[in-house]
Amino acid sequence: MPNVVIDFLEGRTVEQKREMVKRVTQAISETLNCKPDAVQIIMHEISTEQIAHGGILRCDK
């Protein structure tokens, strides 16, 4: 069973997440020749207070 973990900044709509998991599942099932129901996707939404780049929190930019 393919397991996919996707990290992204919070703020996406439920509709965007639905479309993303649909497309990612399709790509993986076609590429790895497995059934779509074998693909598991775990999403981690990260707040801008939990990510930094170049020593600056994303929320401070």
pLDDT in tens, 21-54: 999 999 999 999 999 999 999 999 999 999 999 9
Which residues have a Cβ under 8 Å from the Cβ of 3 and sit 6 or more positions away? 40, 41, 42
Band the pLDDT of 7: cuts 50, 70, 90: very high
**Count of alpha carbons within 13 Å of 8, Cβ hemisphere only?**
13
Domain count of the fold of the chain = 1
- Identify the bridge partners of residue 42 per DSSP, sorted by sequence position: 5
Catalytic residue among 2, 4, 20, 29: 2
3-state secondary structure of 4: strand
Give the domain CATH number at 16. Answer: 3.30.429.10
Question: Looking at residue 24, what is its pLDDT?
Answer: 98
Say whether 7 sits in a helix, a strand or coil: strand
Q: What is the pLDDT of residue 20?
A: 98
Please confirm, yes or no, whether 36 is among the known catalytic residues.
Answer: no
Report how far residue 7's alpha carbon sits from residue 25's, in angstroms, rounded to the nearest whole number.
16
Q: Which domain holds residue 18?
A: 3-60
Q: How confident is the model at residue 57 (pLDDT cuts 50, 70, 90)?
A: very high
